[in-house]
Amino acid sequence: MGFTPLCNALFATKGLFPNIPDIFLSNGARFYLDIGKHPEYSTPEARDLDDLVYAVAAGHRIIDDAANNAEVKYRSDGKDVRIKVFAYNWHRNNIEILIESALNVGLEQTVGTHENYLLSRSVPFKTLVSILLPFFSTRVIYSGSGLVLPEQYGRFEISSRAGFIQENVSFSTETSRGICNTRDEPHADKKRFRRSHVIVGESLMSDFQKKLTYGTTRLVYALIELISQSGNNPLKEVCGLRDPVGTLQQISKDLTLTQEVCDYGKNRHTAIRTNRQYFEAVSSNTYLDTIRQMVGSYDFDWTVYHWDRVLSSLEKDPMSLHKELDWVIKLSNFQEMISSKGSKWDEMAPKLHQAYHRVHPENQLFEGLVKMGKVMVLHPDRKHRIQQAMDNPPNGTRAEARVRIMKELLEGGIYFDADWSTINMINQSRVMMPDPRIPNVDYYPPTVLHKSQ
């Protein structure tokens, strides 16, 4: 069984235009076939961290729904096919779709989990890379999803991505993977904006961890813009990190986080100390007020508070974060479960790791731990928020405007195609949306339609 028929089935009931393998969903996300013929869900644009966190969770449910629909389609054709979707790093990427057929023919396909951040075009790429490399190398202490290596007797690592990173900077996202990626498609006005494409991230299940990971990274990007403008870099020592890739991989293996693996020539620091220097720069009197204004006071205050708290907890006792961080949640609960059953770690841990990342909520270990109160939730109405994020775009975003316009065109019987920043109609009219930050959907009234040249 080839993968293309599966993709066709996945797209059969999704989006505003069914059966087309490049579609925008009613929540503003894009669901499409990417390079390598793998299905990819890309979240809608988001301004608030909570909106982004639940848009990611919604993507898991949307893909699971698509997989269920694909199973029904295959069975109606007399084919006994079972599709399991996992969101984790097992075969170099983060979301794996495993297909099992009655003919005992299996196919595995992976889909990466990447992050994208918008920033000013004025920031030199060299400045961007020099500040990001040490940050991404050490961010893994609270952004790692945890990894069980069955081929190495169940050895556990903090990061499920670190072992597959090969370069500091790379152009490719599928072969020579780098900590920083050179892709520069802003999906916006390219004269004003740059889209920083992050492929070193991991597929996370913990909502708290997602919010902390995206939040800290967002603050660092804001800091980079200000450093670029002022020319005053408080992170000069940090930018001298030797061998960022090797550092990332060493950190992933150090579950105590006590080893001084960050080599600056004359000095060596722990990952915690290096990452704390970013926290101190962001929260300093020099930048605090401006960054809070750039990202919003609620997101800034939440992120700064928990960034500091998590770094302190990791320094004192990483296992104290057994409700917040995926890698600690796994290590703590897997040890407890295996001990209670009298089993061996190397035999049972890989199975628990797979169950933890099963996307279907009824067959997912992670959701079971949530119900048992063993995982921190951001909001008591979590299920409702995820459902809302499946059906609706984030408020006050370009995604909201794009969905509204597309629905109006469909209702009017006007055919069109769309990408992130443009909607082209069959009558050669076009809607341009060059600024992803525009918060008001009324910015794009019908009067903006103009004849394309």
Residue 189, helix vs strand vs coil: coil
Tokens of 209: 């961890």
Q: In whole angstroms, what is the distance from residue 348 CA to residue 367 CA?
A: 19
What does the DSSP assignment read for 116-140?
Answer: EEEEETTS-HHHHHHHHHHHHHHHH
Three-class DSSP category at 442: helix
Q: In the prediction, which pLDDT does 66 show? A: 77
Q: What is the pLDDT of residue 450?
A: 39
Q: How far apart are CA 378 and CA 386, in angstroms?
A: 12
Write out the catalytic residue numbers: 34
Question: How do the domains of the chain map onto residue ranges?
Answer: 3-112, 115-328+372-381, 398-451
Which pLDDT belongs to residue 372?
Answer: 95
pLDDT in tens, 35-87: 656 677 889 999 999 999 999 999 888 888 877 777 777 777 777 766 666 55
| pLDDT value of residue 442 | 53
Q: Are 223 and 278 in contact (CB under 8 A)?
A: yes
Take residue 63 and report the two structure tokens written for it.
């893909």
Reported as a single tens digit per residue, the pLDDT across 254-294 is: 999 999 999 998 899 999 999 999 999 999 999 999 999 99
Residue 114 has a pLDDT of: 86
DSSP string over 359-370: SSGGG-HHHHHH
Buried b / exposed e over 231-257, threshold 16 CB at 10 Å, is eebbbebbbebeebbebbbbbbebeeb
Measured CA to CA, the distance from residue 300 to residue 25 in angstroms comes to 30
Q: What is the mean pLDDT of each run of 10 residues along the chain (453 residues)?
A: 50 51 83 70 93 93 79 76 56 36 38 80 94 96 91 86 86 72 87 90 93 98 96 91 95 96 92 98 96 96 98 97 98 95 90 84 85 96 95 91 87 85 82 79 47 35
Residue 440: the pLDDT is 56
